[in-house]
Amino acid sequence: MMTTIVFFVAGVVASVLVLLCCSRGASTNLFHLTLIITATVCCWMMWAIVYLAQLKPLIVPILSEGE
């Protein structure tokens, strides 16, 4: 849950910075916000997939008898 909050805060901070630094017009601002939201969601999904893959792996390692 904490990592989800971190990604959300990072997305909000990036959105505010783009609105403050790159204010060129309504359509350009919408395009920049769309890119930031998409990037934030994609990064969060990548983290979630990797986390879940390590939590419950599909392939269980088989140890030899010597180990």
pLDDT for position 40? 92
> Number of folded domains in the chain?
1
pLDDT for position 66? 64
Express each pLDDT in 22-35 by its tens digit. 777 777 788 888 89
Host domain of residue 7:
2-55
- pLDDT for residue 21 is more than 60: yes
pLDDT for position 32? 87
* Residue 37, in any domain of the structure: yes
* Residue 41, in any domain of the structure: yes
Average pLDDT over residues 49-57: 87
Buried b (16+ CB within 10 A) or exposed e, 25-46: eeeeeeebeeebeeebeeebee
* Residue 8, in any domain of the structure: yes
* Residue 49, in any domain of the structure: yes
Express each pLDDT in 11-20 by its tens digit. 999 888 888 8
* Residue 67, in any domain of the structure: no
